[in-house]
Amino acid sequence: MMYKYTGRIFKIPFPFTDLSGTKSRPALALCEPDEYGDIEFVFITTKKAGRFRNTLDLPDGLLPFPSKIHADKIFLLHKDIIQKELAEIEPNLLDKLLRILTLKDTERYYKNIHFPSQNRIFVKEKDAIHYAGRVFDEKEMLNLVDSSLDFWLTEGRYADSFTSGLGKFLNINYVMLVNSGSSANLLALSALTSPLLKDRRIVPGDEVITVAAGFPTTVNPIIQNQAVPVFIDVDLGTYVPATEAVAKAVTSKTKAVMIAHTMGIPFDAAELRKLCDEHGLWLIEDCCDALGSRINSNYLGTFGDLATFSFYPAHQITMGEGGAVVTNDQQIARIVMSFRDWGRDCYCSGGKNNSCGRRFSQQFGTLPFGYDHKYVYSHIGYNLKVTDMQAAIGCAQLEKLDKFISARQKNWAVLRQALKPYEDHLILPETPASSDPCYFGFVITVREDAGFTRNELTAFLEKNKIETRNLFCGNLIRHPAYENTKYRVVGDLKNTDIIMNNTFFIGVYPGLKPEQIDYIVEIFDQFFTQK
């Protein structure tokens, strides 16, 4: 080891005030002496761990007796107290010890800084009630710091753990992590343009059925790949389209359907799957709002040829920024990874080589025979990968997902029951038959004859510290970005325009306390009392 003290075991007098040398203990130095000559030590003992929870076994033979390093307490002692050197530990053991100590400090930071703010008593009219927010504890921070200590940075052990865990949760074969839900949508649609799909590939001018009442990055990939979005209307209350509306939009030019389960409410993915199979269409489920929602006990994301998820802080789980594309089709999975990883043909994971066993023995295009497969590009791709630090946060969040789902459903149900008396004025959200949603928010549409406007109601809520949000774009084709875009509309978009003018949502996320939900209801009661 390159240091004189760090990682070495020394004989130290104990207690420290007794320098006669009659009693001593082995202690491990954690650092070099500071400017005052002081060194941080942890002690080593033959005793059982007892009340100490952070211990490491020393390798047999390093000291004359079986020993443990106790990492629960650090002692700052002057180097002159050292009697003699006894042994030196291996770097991997020092790594484990320093991780324990670093993570212990991280946990202490969480408990002293974040925990008190997360558990403050809610003060009416003073504390804001957000529509969404990250919900976490020390586990997310411990994972994040642990990953940063690896300094692997790109996809690594935490990414492997997350993709495995999400795949098991959804019961799906392939999970590809990306840097956002929007990137996931871009990759899902782009994958269907691959020449490897032959006659089924989407080419410029092909049509993709979607909705205008949603988020732009569900539609943008269609336009970015020079296909034509075909817009259909949605139903009020669920804010997703009926299968019949999709069926009416199908023509000989249709190649795919790409629709979001808006706000966690499922469209009838089982019936739409049948329709797509009948017409030979691809189905992409945008599940960015809907992780944990189900139809007939099957999770959303398992009905489409591909599905996408977002792990932005407002969604069901977060890794800060992040997303995923999922599929059960190996060929599609490899195409997605190609588009994600610069368009390269090689599907080796980071740090791996020659997974195909033919790295230098293939012919590609007009490249020389045997050109290194790691640098062969078969698609016009991007770099949309995630970091292992993001995945580390996601792993801790995934462990909480079942609780998060239950909390969202409970909050939604309380609001649904409490606001029921106002249904003459408000269209309250509905749960489709055979579905079990994990709600992103609580969506409300002010009726045309309500006697007040959406803006009047949302202004009253915001004045009382209750955050509101419009239902995303309202009507996407009325935004400046789409004025000169080629698209087609089937039927009218009457409900979409109503959503644009009259619809908003409030939060149901797991960070909301019961007293905050009660306060939301109280403010609605006040509004209607005044009306």
Catalytic residues: 315
Report CA Rg, the chain: 29
**What are the distances in angstroms from CA 438 to CA 263, 287, 409, 506, 515?**
9, 11, 6, 15, 21
Contacts of 260 (CB under 8 A, 6+ apart): 211, 214, 215, 218, 240, 285, 286, 287, 288, 289, 290
Burial of 7 (0-12, 13-18, 19+ CB in 10 A): buried
Q: Which pairs count as long-range contacts for 115-122, CB under 8 Å and 24+ apart, including other chains?
A: 118/511, 122/513, 122/515, 122/516, 122/519
Question: 388-399 and 401-418 are packed helices; what angle lies between their axes, rounded to 10 degrees?
Answer: 60
Contact at 8 Å (CB) between 202 and 236? no
Q: Which of 95, 87, 50, 94 is nearest to 72 (CA)?
A: 50
Instruction: Count the helix, strand and coil residues of the chain and give each as a percent rounded to the nearest 5.
Output: 35, 20, 45
Collapsing DSSP states into helix, strand and coil, what is residue 114? Answer: helix
- Angstrom distance (rounded) from CA 3 to CA 42: 17
Contacts of 25 (CB under 8 A, 6+ apart): 11, 12, 14, 43, 44, 45
DSSP letter for 368, please. Answer: P
CA atoms within 13 A on the CB side of 284: 31
Contacts of 414 (CB under 8 A, 6+ apart): 517, 521
- Angstrom distance (rounded) from CA 287 to CA 308: 5
234 dihedral zone (left: phi>0; alpha: psi -120 to 50; beta) = beta
- Angstrom distance (rounded) from CA 211 to CA 233: 6
